[in-house]
Structure 1
Amino acid sequence: MKQRSILRLGVTVLVLAGSAQLASAMPGSLPPVQHSGAVSYLSGGVGSDRSAAIKDEMRHYPLALEFAGKTDAGNDYLADIPVQISDVNGNVLLDTNSRGPFMLISLPNGRYTVTVTYKGKQAHRAVNVTAGSHAHEVFVWPM
């Protein structure tokens, strides 16, 4: 009888420990959503688990930005990229830095200019955001 109680207790502890580890891993996979006026966004993706979580989340955002540096060995993900998004009238709606190689952004429907900078080199892209669409812009700089 005593042996069964010890065995049940051991199994219960293992199950609870596994559940707690799984629960703590799930919410930490995605960075928190940030807000700037009517714009909401998240940025991150450092590490394979977080990168995979953001890639899975991309379909829920009308605009996805990705940042990389081209090397002789291939591409390396970049972080801390200044990002500015302006509307057609030149009003800046978002001015922030990426916290990883991915940035997912929700914007009202419209046409926007995305400006990003790496090592003093700016890149600009015009993007259209419409209901049901998804734009994915990849910025690659020479290293």
Structure 2
Amino acid sequence: MFMKIRFIIPWAMLSFLVFAKDPLIKLQTQGEISFVSGGVGGDERDAMHAIRSDYNLNLLFSEAGSGEYLSDIKVCIKDAGGNNLLETIADGPMFYTKLKPGRYTVSVDLDGNTIDKTVNVGNQQSVSHSFTWPKQQGN
């Protein structure tokens, strides 16, 4: 009996690792920049809120009037010299990234409607910016 338990426990642990659910939010990197995006649905939104303090730039995308969250937003971040540091598509309405302290231009685009903001990222506190687009025709 004891021999069976010794074999069952490692098998059970291995099975857990093999069948464990993928994390809701996946860390991504581009060059030296790490970022996450998501927030579609309650579980994903909760997961994003739980890691928010780990990132020093937090972006939120929504529609004017309704406040409806938006996803599939093109995100481009440039340094003060105009060099592209990051170009990606946000998987959800929340986008968090870690940047070195400094001044950046954040450009976000929804169907050709681009919004640019200059952001200052410091050493201590995170910076949050909301981007809101007018209601899309046909929505």
- Using structure 2 for the length normalisation, give the TM-score: 0.79
Q: What's the Cα RMSD here?
A: 1.8
* Larger helix share, 1 or 2: 1
Q: What letter is aligned with 1:46?
A: V
Matched with 2:120 is 128
Is 1:54 aligned with 2:52? Answer: no
Partners of 1:102 and 1:81 in 2: CA distance = 10
- Which residue among 110, 114, 119 is the counterpart of 2:106? 114
Matches within 5 A, 1:1-143: 24=20, 28-29=23-24, 31-71=25-65, 74-143=66-135
Preserved CA contact (<8 Å) 1:79 1:100: yes
Please, which runs of 5 or more residues in structure 2 have no aligned partner? Answer: 1-11
Q: How far apart are the structure 1 equivalents of 2:68 and 2:52? A: 20
Distance in 2 (CA, whole Å) between partners of 1:138 and 1:55 is: 15
Moved beyond 3 Å, runs of 4+: none
Q: What amino acid is aligned across from residue 124 of structure 2 in structure 1? A: G
Pairs aligned (count): 119
Identity %: 35
Larger Rg: 1
Contact 1:38–1:108 at 8 Å: present in 2 too?
Answer: no
The code of the aligned residue for 2:109 comes to T
For the residue of structure 2 that corresponds to 1:77, the secondary structure is coil
